[in-house]
Amino acid sequence: MKKIKYTLSTLLVIILFSCNEKVEQNHIQDEAMEITDEKLDRFGITNRDYLSAASKRALDWKYVENDWYRVFKPMQPLKGDLAYEEGVVRRDPSAMIKENGKYYVWYSKSTGESQGFGGDVEKDKVFPWDRCDIWYATSVDGWTWKEEGPAVLRGEKGSYDDRSVFTVEIMKHDDLYYLCYQTVKSPYTVRVKNQVGLAWSKSPNGPWTKSEEPILSPADNGVWKGTEQNRFMVEKKGDFDSHKVHDPCIIPFKGKFYLYYKGEQMGEEILFGGRQIRHGVAVADNPKGPYVKSKYNPISNSGHEICVWPTSGGIASLITTDGPERNTFQFAEDGVNFEIRGAVKGANMPHAIGINRTLDAPADNPTQVFEWGLSHVYNNWNYQSIMRFSSERKTSHVAKGAVSAKGDKKEDTQDDN
């Protein structure tokens, strides 16, 4: 009995010591936090001696201005060849550029329904983005598009891109055009590890020369468990990109070339109500590589498709769909260490965004590139089409006819309730 009392007493002392230590650590953290009267007043905190965890986070926010905030409007259908076509998949539009007086966009294209992994993966189409080639289209006004034909086709049997080439991005540099894209080698199984390819041309109309080898591959330090085609069974998960590298996008930055990409990990989990998706970056001295993955990867803890653009001397990123920081605009002065700059309403959010690189992104309006652009939508599971999105900057919250903080009258009535 004495032994039990002694054990309980010891545990009580340990718990009290731990609690006191935790309180002391919190006190030290509070002392280090910059708490000004202006901050307290701004966030409606009237008692600085009793700060909730939420209040502490608010007081510690590094950036709370609203010049990054945008509201997306409902997407609208395109005209011409990019209008929805039954039996055809057009998805994952690239960024748009303007050449010869016309907008150019590249995208994944395939035909027919998807059968999934339940049948013969050698013969079937397992996903809408399976058995794709990369096509392109042009438009004078951004609404009516003419499909010009294929740009990059799948490779010969046995090559690293023989099954599908898809999810493409465009970059122009020194009068050359570069397309980077995902590749899959047949057979397309659950555990297949896709890679990233590259093609280049002197003209946006081609012809395109493809890289003989991939320019980026998944990490090779995960270990599958057993031989069953189950991507959740692992002995070791490995790096954040041990299974797949997706959605590549190359940005010239500070004299080098930054290849941003989405990583999928072997044994991927569901966290914070979304898939465990993160982004990484690889850097090269030449657009064609070799690309070396950053030691700081992963550079995000959330997101899905890559959407990055230069602004304010750094790189901005729109993080969508998955993770605790989804639906946020983020910014990294060095292109690697991203911090949240603004939130985005989930309503009408475009996916697989084809950003409009014909628009500027000045320091005083860093999200201006989203005034309009392209996105794909799921008409149903088998077929997707490309549509046009638009958005407006929102820096005030006033009723129609009311006076804003800047002293001008507003016509905007959105969200004033």
CB atoms within 10 A of CB 410: 17
Asked whether the bond before 93 is cis by omega within 30 degrees of 0, the reply is no
* β-pair partners for 201: 177
* Percentage of residues of the chain with pLDDT beyond 70: 89
Q: Report which secondary-structure segment, H or E, holds 165.
A: strand 164-173
The pLDDT value recorded for residue 378 is 96
**pTM passes above 0.75:** yes
CA trace torsion 215, 248, 384, 118 (10° rounding): 50
Short-list 73, 68, 70, CA closest to 388? 73
Whether pLDDT at 219 is above 80: yes
Under 8 Å CB-to-CB from 328, ≥6 apart: which residues? 302, 318, 319, 340, 341, 342, 343, 344
Query: In the structure, what pLDDT confidence band is assigned to residue 54 with cuts at 50, 70 and 90?
Result: very high
Phi and psi, residue 182, nearest 5°: -80, 155
> How far is it, in rounded angstroms, from Cα 88 to Cα 97?
24
**CB-CB neighbours of 412 under 10 Å:** 16
Token pair 């012809």 in the structure block, residue? 207
Residue 96 DSSP code: B
Residue-by-residue DSSP string for 168-179: EEEEEETTEEEE
At residue 400, the pLDDT reads 81
Task: Flag the least confident range among 31-35, 57-61, 277-281.
Answer: 31-35
Mean pLDDT of the chain: 90
- Those residues with Cβ within 8 angstroms of residue 162's Cβ, 6 or more apart along the chain or in another chain: 154, 155, 156, 185, 186
Q: Are 297 and 289 in contact, with CB atoms under 8 Å apart?
A: no
Strand order in the sheet with 308-311: 308-311, 314-319, 328-332, 339-343
Q: Does domain 70-393 have CATH number 3.40.640.10?
A: no
Q: Are 170 and 178 in contact (CB under 8 A)?
A: yes
Of the pLDDT bands very low, low, confident and very high (cuts 50, 70, 90), residue 407 is low
Instruction: Summarize pLDDT for 318-360 with one digit per residue, the tens.
Output: 999 999 999 999 999 999 999 999 989 888 999 899 999 999 9
- Residue 273's pLDDT band, with cuts at 50, 70 and 90, is confident
Residue 208 has pLDDT above 70, yes or no: yes
How far is residue 417's CA from residue 7's CA, in Å, rounded to a whole number? 58
Helix (H) or strand (E) holding 247: strand 244-253
Maximum separation of any 2 CA atoms in the chain, in Å = 90
Residue 220 Cα distances to 181, 193, 243, 251, angstroms = 20, 10, 8, 25
Q: How many whole angstroms separate alpha carbon 192 and alpha carbon 263?
A: 14
Q: How far apart are CA 142 and CA 193, in angstroms?
A: 36
Cα(195)–Cα(219) distance, integer angstroms: 10
Pairing mode, strands 223-224 and 234-236: antiparallel
Asked if 315 contacts 258 with a C-beta cutoff of 8 angstroms, the reply is yes
* Element holding 259 (H helix, E strand): strand 256-264
Relative to beta strand 97-99, strand 88-91 is unpaired
Q: Where are the domains of the chain?
A: 2-60, 70-393
Instruction: Give rounded-to-5 percent helix, strand, coil for the chain.
Output: 10, 35, 50
